[in-house]
Amino acid sequence: MLSISSFDFTKEPLFNFLCDIKRGIVQQAEPKNSQCWDDEYVKQLLAMVSLGYPIKEIKLIEQRNLNVEIKPRLIDGVCLPKAPQPELLILEGQESLTVLFMALLSKQPVCLKQGNSQRITQKWYYIDMAKALDFPTIDRADSIISLNSERTLSCQWQYLIDCSTPEQEYKSGLFPINQVFNFSQWRSKYSKYWNYKPCKRELIEQFEVSIINKFEHCLLPIVIAKSEPPKEAVCQIIEPSKEPNYFDRMTATYAVNGFSLKEDWEIKEKHFQSVKVLRLLKNSDFLQAVTLVATYTHRMEAINRGYSCDQLPAVGCTRQQLMRLSLSEYKAWAEPVSRGYEEAAKFLYSLAIFDASELPYHNQLVALAAILTVLGERLKDELVRTQLKQWYYCAVFGEVYTGWPERKAAKDMLEVSQWLNGGSLPSSIKDTTLTARRLRKLSNHDAAAYRGISTLLKCYGATDFSCGQPIINLRFFEEEIQNHHIFPQAWCYQQGICRERYNSIINKTPITANTNRLLGGKAPSDYLKQLESSGISQGRLNQILRTHLIEPRLLRTNDFDAFFSARTYALLELIGKAMGKHLTDELSKNNYEFNYNTVSLSCQ
């Protein structure tokens, strides 16, 4: 069992630790990511050390740890003819350590990213000694100056600062930060340059006491994972953030066996981005789907061998399970899961979801791709596809994936797959519903149920009010479609209708931006007359309105209350059919009759 004794908590002088980095005793893990920082970050970090402020904890692991195989690489700026076998690997804090090493000990300029561009620049860092001693009147970071690779700072072709030679440094009173740990020699030459003037000697002495001593006495807080913890425990304890970087850790692990997970993902990512509904797919999403399939396969194999229930391996995609995914398992399932995501895209297209921005839940896509991977050819079965649609809509309108998505995905992976093989209903279908109260309160366009209603109306055949074209066709060809108010906001506000009601999804429907501008803030009866005057017959307009589950006579009489109640019932009927459930709002049902009693979905 893992305990606190599996870790060492210590402090190490900054200089000693940077020397270990320079000798290659301390290295970081592959892959080599793009490690570039902006100028402000470097100045703030150096300012913190110069003030004696604590640096963020550094987390390391012993390389001899047999449970965690990670390919090492030298820190940027370290130049050795041959990299030695390291004793320690940096798991967290490599950004600040790399900056400090390059600025203080590498004798090389620090590499920076310029603004939002990918252009890389090189900077040397100096401290204005007089300004630094004027703290706190002058912010310490403001006393740190960055010069270009020639150690100059120019403006309009004139040198403002020139530190290209040591003499120019002495003259300008700028101390090169890469001489912090060689201060005594620099001070000697500085004093000699100024002929040991008392004022200069006093300045350099105060600078040493106030600034240089902070660097020399700086202690790094360090946590070292010893050889006992398994790799999933190291990932969980060393990187306990809400969104841990599984991908980099697994890339480092696989690199030991000569496999580049990063390069493999880049190929897959390029393909996924060409499919609009998959364009936001992340590497962690892909790894989760692979892990779901791998763990599900292990469980099925155990069942076939006759294992008892308490011996069956768990299905899931948690942090620990991802870190246990072996390279052989990844290689076995990466391509099938890629095809699973492609099938998921086709499935979503059949539900009128054409772009990633329209997905109710991005996390549900992980479970969907994994389920489709194990289904294989059975996906061509019409009954299976119908069942999948029911599960998908139940999860969306039941808002199943709102919290703990990894747990939901694991549960659906197991239960939905068993259901499709003749098992009992999964809990994501059996235990979900959508109440009229919840439907009325839906107003946030980012809510899963809100987006689900929009796509469901497209499948039902919702047609644009003005152009008469099905919304599903317009959206496929990238026409801008948004959910706009049926009873316009301005009109509702003038009538004293509360915002909670007129801003509900019940008073919204997918139409083009052009149609929305045409409707403006007019009463429904007025904009319907305007549409008819443009050449749309009243009969045709009535047909169009009913494709949005809108009773035309309630718009023509501007009866918001009756409309609101009637459409609540109609939407519940539509959603209930998609979920395979009977959803009712008795108040609406008893008081209003409809010309569209039978609701059907047209998407295939």
User: Which has the higher per-residue pLDDT, 11 or 586?
Assistant: 11
**pLDDT of residue 6 exceeding 90:** no
Distance CA 31, CA 21 (A): 18
Contact of 344 with 364, CB cutoff 8 Å: no
Tell me the C-alpha to C-alpha distance, in Å, between residue 461 and each of 100, 318, 506, 518, 532.
61, 40, 17, 21, 21
Q: Which residue has the tokens 């992976």?
A: 413
The domain ranges of the chain are 4-220, 254-431, 437-591
Instruction: State the pLDDT confidence band at 596, using cuts at 50, 70 and 90.
Output: very low
Instruction: State the pLDDT confidence band at 469, using cuts at 50, 70 and 90.
Output: confident
User: Which has the higher per-residue pLDDT, 241 or 179?
Assistant: 179
Q: What phi and psi, each to the nearest 5 degrees, are found at residue 314? A: -75, 150
Q: Is the pTM of this model over 0.75?
A: no
**pLDDT of residue 287 exceeding 60:** yes
Q: Average pLDDT over the chain, rounded to whole?
A: 86
Contact of 230 with 49, CB cutoff 8 Å: no
Ordered alpha helix ranges (H), 194-312: 198-207, 213-216, 231-238, 246-255, 261-273, 283-304
pLDDT, average across residues 265-287: 93
Instruction: State the pLDDT confidence band at 527, using cuts at 50, 70 and 90.
Output: very high
pLDDT, average across residues 265-285: 93
pLDDT, residue 594, reads 44
pLDDT, residue 242, reads 39
pLDDT, residue 123, reads 92
**pLDDT of residue 237 exceeding 50:** no
Percent of the chain with pLDDT over 90: 55
Among 24, 86, 59, 97, which Cα is nearest to 221's? Answer: 59
pLDDT, residue 588, reads 47
pLDDT tens digits, 394-406: 999 999 888 788 8
Instruction: State the pLDDT confidence band at 598, using cuts at 50, 70 and 90.
Output: very low
Among 159, 162, 190, 148, which Cα is nearest to 39's? Answer: 148
**pLDDT of residue 537 exceeding 90:** yes
Kindly state the tokens that stand for 462: 């919702």
User: Which has the higher per-residue pLDDT, 599 or 87?
Assistant: 87
- Tell me how many degrees the CA angle 393-398-403 measures, rounded to the nearest 5: 115
pLDDT, residue 67, reads 54
